[in-house]
Amino acid sequence: MEHFTSPFAASDFARAQALENRQFLTALLRQSQAHRYYSHPFLEICNQQTPPREWVVFILTSFYKIVAPYTALLFTLGGRAPTLQSRFALLDNIYEEMGCGDIAAAHPSLYVDMLASIGVACAAAERAPTLLPIHQINTHLSDCIERRHFAVACAVLASAEATIPPCFPVLAQLAQRAFPSVDLRFFERHGARDEGHSDDAAALFALTCQSSLFESVATAVYRDLDCRANLFDEWSQALASR
């Protein structure tokens, strides 16, 4: 946890079920690194060429539909947290997402500023069609958060936060190459910090899961990664078909 003091004691993680849960998720997240998301050609794309401006605008505008609803999803998850401690632990991530008390620094606000700096008005980003993989990511995430066991949602959150460190530097680099004066504050708030969010979600998983859920947890984590890899496919195809 970055902003708040952890509400948990070491003894909370020493219970047999917590140890088994932690071992399971650690192994799952390690295996998931072999998913095609993590070796997708899109992640190498900025080493190859100067990106066309229109394509970068397309990518960053489409990604707004991932950024915009994320705080609401986290709040919903917080509302489903089974204990005061788990709710408090999630608040650390929510506080960061909400700009640590400054709405101008809330992550969606920073993203809108970034888009404005490359000539995309917020209204245009709102109006842009939601790409199918993004619709699927959001639908799956909200289904996990609203209808599945809290631990399933925490595992998907841990995996989703782990997808950020390899991807966001690529988006930032594309943005900067196409638009040298782009406002990068959104991307500067991400990176190692998201590894912390992933670890926090994994800790909540360890404290709340039960072995009978393991299979559905693995299915949900891989479903999220499939959708994210499909998004890379769509972005890459948009470049190829120019």
Least Å from the CB of residue 157 to Fe ion: 9
Q: Are 159 and 224 in contact (CB under 8 A)?
A: yes
Least Å from the CB of residue 102 to Fe ion: 17
Q: Are 226 and 164 in contact (CB under 8 A)?
A: no
Q: Does 197 bind Fe ion (CB under 5 A)?
A: yes
Stretch that binds Fe ion, among 72-80, 112-120, 191-199, 204-212 (CB under 5 A): 191-199
Q: Which two tokens stand for residue 28?
A: 């799952």
Nearer to Fe ion, 65 or 197 (CB): 197
Nearer to Fe ion, 92 or 161 (CB): 161
Least Å from the CB of residue 111 to Fe ion: 13
Signed CA dihedral, 56, 61, 65, 70: sign only: positive
Of 92, 194, 200, 224, the one binding Fe ion (CB under 5 A) is 194
> Which residues touch 99 (CB under 8 Å, ≥6 apart)?
105, 106, 107, 109, 110
Stretch that binds Fe ion, among 6-14, 194-202, 210-218, 223-231 (CB under 5 A): 194-202
Stretch that binds Fe ion, among 44-52, 56-64, 171-179, 195-203 (CB under 5 A): 195-203
Site map (CB under 5 A) of Fe ion, residues 154-173, x = contact:
-------x------------
Stretch that binds Fe ion, among 7-15, 47-55, 116-124, 196-204 (CB under 5 A): 196-204
Least Å from the CB of residue 193 to Fe ion: 6
Least Å from the CB of residue 56 to Fe ion: 23
Residue 50: CB atoms within 10 Å: 9
Q: Which two tokens stand for residue 64?
A: 């707004």
DSSP letters of 75-88? HHHHHH-SSHHHHH
Nearer to Fe ion, 161 or 224 (CB): 161
Residues 179-208 as b or e (16 or more Cβ within 10 Å = b): beebbbebbebbeebbebbbebbbbbbbbb
Place of tokens 């638009």: 179
Positions 8 through 27 that interact with Fe ion (CB under 5 A)? none
Residue 105: CB atoms within 10 Å: 16
Q: Which two tokens stand for residue 138?
A: 């959001």
Stretch that binds Fe ion, among 27-35, 51-59, 153-161, 167-175 (CB under 5 A): 153-161
Site map (CB under 5 A) of Fe ion, residues 56-95, x = contact:
----------------------------------------
Rounded Cα distance, 168 and 43, in Å = 10
**Residues in the site for Fe ion, rule: CB under 5 A?**
161, 194, 197
